[in-house]
Structure 1
Amino acid sequence: MGKAGIALRQVLEKYEIPQNKLAVMMGVSRSNIHRWIYEVGDPSGDNILAIRDALQKANPEAASAFIELYLNS
């Protein structure tokens, strides 16, 4: 468990994207983001794509980094 969460935490920290901003962009609660980055639960496949899409809007480099970290971990 946590492959996506680990990648997401690293990307949010590196690119200084607040959890709340990502949550708003995705239309989910901040507690969902918190659960994912602290590996309490894993995002579904649809949410992996939603994370990528939201990160793409916030910072395209962050979106690329997330996918790379997720696929290579």
Structure 2
Amino acid sequence: MGRAGSALRQVLETYGISQNKLAVTMGTDRANVNRWVKELRDPAGDVIFEIKEALRQLSPDAANEFVRLYLGDTPQKSL
């Protein structure tokens, strides 16, 4: 466990977003966010998308950083 939780924890700290603010934006319980951040439970695949969308509402930079940290550095597709 941990890649999503670790990425989420880092993004929340870096961008000053509280677990409660993320939970409210997502429409979920703060306890869920806390379990992800503490790496007690991994969010499901569809929830990863919801986390990204909620972060995008709060801070587009935070959302981009979450995706980068979660997926890792992926090579850019050249045209």
Question: Greater Rg, structure 1 or structure 2?
Answer: 2
Q: Which has the higher contact order (CA 8 A, sep 6+)?
A: 1
Q: Measure how far apart 1:55 and its partner are.
A: 0.3
- Runs of at least 5 residues in structure 2 that lack an aligned partner in the other structure: 74-79
TM-score by length of structure 2 reads 0.90
Question: Counterpart in 1 of 2:26?
Answer: 26
TM-score by length of structure 1 reads 0.98
Number of residue pairs matched by the alignment = 73
Q: Distance in 1 between matches of 2:35 and 2:2?
A: 10
Percent sequence identity is 56
Q: Distance in 1 between matches of 2:26 and 2:8?
A: 14
Choose between structure 1 and 2: higher helix proportion: 1
SS in 1 for 2:5: helix
- Runs of at least 5 residues in structure 1 that lack an aligned partner in the other structure: none
